[in-house]
Amino acid sequence: MLLQRGFDRQRHQWFATSSWPGYPVVNATLLGSKSAGPLAAAWAIASVLGVDGFRMLTASMAASVARITTAVHAIEGLRIVGDPTGPMVALAADETDAARRVDPHLWADAMREFGFVVQGQPASAQPDGSVRFGRPPLAMVPLVLDHNLRNTRQIAQTFVPLAPTSMVLRGGDGPEVEFVPVTTTDAIEAADDQIDRLIDEGWEPKDIALLTMGARHPVQRERQEALGFAAYWDEFWSNEDVFYGHVLGFKGMERRAVVLCVNEDGTRERSGERLYVGMSRATDRLVVVASPEVIRSIGGPEVLERLRPT
Block means of pLDDT (10 residues each) for the chain, length 310 residues? 74 72 67 70 92 87 84 85 80 83 84 82 57 53 73 95 86 95 97 98 96 95 87 82 91 91 90 92 96 96 86
* pLDDT number for residue 290: 97
How much is the pLDDT for 45?
A: 93
Domains defined for the chain, CATH in brackets: 50-132 (no CATH), 147-307 (3.40.50.300)
Distance, in Å, from the CA atom of 291 to the CA atom of 307, rounded to the nearest integer, reads 12
Amino acid occupying residue 46: A
- For the chain, where are the E strands, in sequence order? 15-17, 25-27, 78-80, 91-93, 124-125, 131-132, 147-148, 168-169, 178-181, 208-212, 243-246, 255-261, 282-290
Residue 51: CB atoms within 10 A of its CB come to 8
Contact 209, 250 (CB under 8 A): yes
3-class DSSP state of 272: helix
Distance CA 53, CA 153 (A): 33
Q: What is the pLDDT of residue 195?
A: 98
Q: What is the pLDDT of residue 106?
A: 84
CA–CA dist 246, 72 (Å, integer): 13
∠ CA 217-218-220 to the nearest 5 degrees? 65
Residue 236: name the closest of 216, 214, 211 by CA.
211
0.95 exceeded by the pTM? no
Instruction: For residues 228 and 251, give the distance between their C-alpha atoms in angstroms, rounded to a whole number.
Output: 20
User: How far is 152 from 3, CA to CA, in rounded Å?
Assistant: 61
